[in-house]
Chain A
């Protein structure tokens, strides 16, 4: 079975600083994908970034990067130069292949960016 663990229920960061949101996962599937989503107070889930288990390089999308450490089974999200609009819930998710394609989500981390 797949499992995603986000150990930080809440994080605070100063505007313009970088912040790392932790995510560890567990799976026996050799092929899997890791995703991060942002959920503002409005409730919509916004896709941020994706990392495949066989990707050699860490994924980056603008100010978002994914620190993928396969041996440690971690997929931390790094947000550089935080903005006030980054304040939201952040969810880590994974999906495997074959019978484990159903997405599994962590419990989320609430990020607050201070001016």
Chain B
């Protein structure tokens, strides 16, 4: 079975802190994604990566950065956390192609106080 693992399930951080959300997949997938989920807004794409060291901005990249130094790992970084970044963050991975399933991690619930 494909496994996408997010390092932290629940986090509470203070405003201004630097926050790292880690994601690891074990299926050698080319594509990896970070989404943010808020009630009534569905999933919004923050950043995605189609290969090692490659990254592209999604719909809401402001306040976030990412890193993909190894194929299996895709990290989301909040340089200076703010209360409006309190949300659920979902990491996903897949192979290239329209017919390939997107696999998700369990999600990371981040609260910024």
Contact = CB atoms under 8 A, between A and B. Distances in A.
A31 B98 contact: yes
B64 interface: no
Interface size class of B (residues with CB under 8 A): 20 to 34
Nearest to A51: B99
A52 to B, nearest CB: 5
A103 B96 contact: no
Given A44-B106, A101-B31, A52 B98 contact: yes
B99 A108 contact: no
Interface size class of A (residues with CB under 8 A): 20 to 34
A47 to B, nearest CB: 5
Nearest to B56: A102
Interface in B29-70: 31, 33, 35, 40-43, 45, 48, 58
A97 interface: yes
Given A43-B88, A43-B106, A103-B92, A91 B43 contact: yes
B102 A35 contact: yes
Given A44-B104, A44-B107, A45-B104, A32 B42 contact: no
Interface of A: 9, 29, 31-33, 35, 37, 42-45, 47, 50, 52-53, 91, 93, 95-97, 101-103, 105-108
